[in-house]
Amino acid sequence: MNLSAREIALNILYEIFENGAFSNITIKKHLVEGLDHKEEGLIREIVYGVLENDIYINYIISKASKIKLKKIHPVILIILKIGVYQLIFIDRIPPSAAVNESVNLAKKHGHKGTIGFVNGILRNISRNKDEFMKIEVKDKIDYISIKYSHPKWMIKRWIKDYGDEFTEELCRKNNESPELNIRINTLKTNKDELKERLIDYGFIVKDGIYARDSLIIENPVRITELPEFKKGHFIIQDESSTLVGQIMDPISGSTVVDLCSAPGGKATHLAQIMNNKGKILSRDIYEHKIRLIEENARRLDINIIETSISDATKRDESLVNIADYLLLDAPCSGLGLIRRKPEIKRNRREEDIDELVKLQYDILNNVKDYLKIGGILIYSTCTIEKDENINLINKFLEKNKNFKLVNIEDKIKNKQDITTLKSGYIQLFPHIHNTDGFYIAKIIKER
């Protein structure tokens, strides 16, 4: 039976809200063959739109409903969210269509009472849209939380670390869809050649801002179906992540240890920089993640990556003093990825951060001996939390005087809006650098 785009969106959102599923994986699972580009686009727009604006949508529904949100059946509540999102955010969809399609979903998944409930609430919001859209709170944190649908604990932390205006701009940017970045596999092609081919296919292509091997694709519809992708001419990788390899800049023939390596984007880039000569020991804790590294390496025709299952919290004596370069892309809160995975706002808890900081520090302390004297350590995360980044590195350096941050000025092609290169690290933000929120520190083991 063919499902409508809105019903597929409903099924996806139910899995995310009720089971804590990841948006990207769940969308991929539910997109059936035969969907045209418009239907697929609407599904993605509704799913990501509801996730991005969930607190604001809940606020609007709670103003319109006499029944408290937690007492509304989860499926009916998601149907309401889909309807409200279309009424408030998608101008091209007529209000009547947004209401009627939601009522049709209620007919299928509810009963006579819920049909009338959905119809009444959505028609009321449609008729009095401007009134329902008003945010009537005085507290600054409450206002930002509702307007940009970020939990209050996140906003409090960011205001403390970065200030009010910075935090509001960051939250606003977190609700925008990111552009897709790809990394060119220079072992098989070059930037000009790949760019020309992509433009011929009809893609809008720009050079990356900071990373030499990055291209920005503004209309990336089904880009992974291209022959060039299947032949390994490029990989999907955000520019921030691509900078890890660029900043490490390993010499051809070196030995690199890459911990927490999956899905292999950074490892394959390091191999590319090394001209596929040397050795990269890629480690991860799960077998299915190891397979992802191997699949990417095969597609990109890279053969210097050796994979094995390993727990980075446990010392591996076979790795002691063997690494010219060590990459720790640490497990983190992922708060720099909210544009790509808006469910993070819902699923992440503040107490997770303290647990992650302890884990990160334990891993860092555990793996530091894998480096040779004179070796380079790269510590990276996809978060903007100071406790997981600069504060953690400062604590590590204070207790390990033989390690020191290295000037990375010569590693970035465009230094615009980056002021910490001399200090040996960068902290990227979505609203300033138009990348994922990302931290990279380059550290040398001096003795």
pLDDT in tens, 131-177: 999 999 999 999 999 999 999 999 999 999 999 999 999 999 999 99
- The verdict on residue 166 lying in a domain is no
- Rounded CA-CA distance 173/342 in Å is 12
Last residue in a domain, options 212, 236, 260: 236
DSSP label of 164: H
DSSP label of 351: H
User: Do 309 and 431 fall within a single domain?
Assistant: yes
Q: What is the domain-level CATH number for residue 200?
A: 3.30.70.1170
Ordered alpha helix ranges (H), 222-349: 227-230, 239-248, 265-273, 287-299, 344-347
- Mean pLDDT for 78-90 is 98
- Rounded CA-CA distance 233/404 in Å is 36
68, pLDDT greater than 60: yes
- The verdict on residue 159 lying in a domain is no
- Rounded CA-CA distance 302/275 in Å is 9
Average pLDDT, the chain: 96
pLDDT at position 3, please?
84
In Å, what is the CA distance from 298 to each residue of 104, 207, 289?
47, 26, 14
Instruction: Give the strand order in the sheet containing 234-236.
Output: 205-207, 214-217, 180-184, 234-236
2, pLDDT greater than 80: no
pLDDT one-digit tens code per residue, 359-383: 999 999 999 999 999 999 999 999 9
- Mean pLDDT for 399-423 is 93
Query: Which residue do the tokens 């950074």 mark?
Result: 266
Q: How confident is the model at residue 35 (pLDDT cuts 50, 70, 90)?
A: confident
User: Do 389 and 301 fall within a single domain?
Assistant: yes
The helix/strand/coil state of 347 is: helix
User: Do 396 and 411 fall within a single domain?
Assistant: yes
User: Do 415 and 271 fall within a single domain?
Assistant: yes
Domain extent for 373: 241-445
SS (H, E, C) 296-358: HHHHCCCCCEEEEECCCCCCCHHHCCCEEEEEEECCCCCCCCCCCCCCHHHHCCHHHHHHHHH
User: Do 282 and 413 fall within a single domain?
Assistant: yes
- Percent pLDDT > 90 in the chain is 94
- Percent pLDDT > 70 in the chain is 100
The helix/strand/coil state of 432 is: helix
Angle at 388 between CA 386 and CA 247, to 5 degrees: 90
Tokens of residue 366, six digits? 């555990």
- The verdict on residue 154 lying in a domain is no
pLDDT at position 401, please?
97
pLDDT one-digit tens code per residue, 183-197: 999 999 999 999 999
pLDDT at position 347, please?
94
Is residue 312 packed enough to be buried (19+ CB in 10 Å), middle (13-18) or exposed (0-12)? buried
User: Do 206 and 352 fall within a single domain?
Assistant: no
218, pLDDT greater than 80: yes
Q: What is the domain-level CATH number for residue 96?
A: 1.10.940.10
**Do residues 282 and 305 make contact, with C-beta atoms less than 8 angstroms apart?**
yes
- Rounded CA-CA distance 431/314 in Å is 37
User: Do 212 and 337 fall within a single domain?
Assistant: no
Closest CA to 124 of 54, 60, 58, 59: 60
State yes or no: cis peptide before 263, omega within 30 of 0. Answer: yes
User: Do 292 and 309 fall within a single domain?
Assistant: yes
Neighbours of 250 (CB within 10 A): 21
Closest CA to 177 of 29, 26, 45: 45
339, pLDDT greater than 70: yes
Q: How confident is the model at residue 396 (pLDDT cuts 50, 70, 90)?
A: very high
**Do residues 423 and 405 make contact, with C-beta atoms less than 8 angstroms apart?**
yes
Q: What is the domain-level CATH number for residue 425?
A: 3.40.50.150
**Do residues 354 and 388 make contact, with C-beta atoms less than 8 angstroms apart?**
no
Angle at 258 between CA 254 and CA 262, to 5 degrees: 135
pLDDT at position 221, please?
85
- Mean pLDDT for 333-344 is 97
Last residue in a domain, options 99, 134, 169: 134
User: Do 281 and 326 fall within a single domain?
Assistant: yes
- The verdict on residue 170 lying in a domain is no
pLDDT at position 37, please?
83
Tokens of residue 222, six digits? 């089904």
- The verdict on residue 24 lying in a domain is yes
- C-alpha of 133 from chain center: 28
- Rounded CA-CA distance 20/17 in Å is 6
Last residue in a domain, options 68, 100, 134: 134
User: Do 188 and 327 fall within a single domain?
Assistant: no
- Mean pLDDT for 219-244 is 95
**Do residues 55 and 63 make contact, with C-beta atoms less than 8 angstroms apart?**
no
- Rounded CA-CA distance 415/421 in Å is 8
Beta partners for residue 380, in sequence order: 329, 440
User: Do 210 and 245 fall within a single domain?
Assistant: no
Tokens of residue 438, six digits? 């990302």
User: Do 371 and 313 fall within a single domain?
Assistant: yes
Judge whether 382 counts as a catalytic residue: yes
**Do residues 229 and 223 make contact, with C-beta atoms less than 8 angstroms apart?**
yes
- The verdict on residue 299 lying in a domain is yes
1, pLDDT greater than 70: no
Q: How many domains does the chain have?
A: 3
104, pLDDT greater than 90: yes
- The verdict on residue 65 lying in a domain is yes
Q: How confident is the model at residue 38 (pLDDT cuts 50, 70, 90)?
A: confident
- The verdict on residue 437 lying in a domain is yes
- Rounded CA-CA distance 319/279 in Å is 13
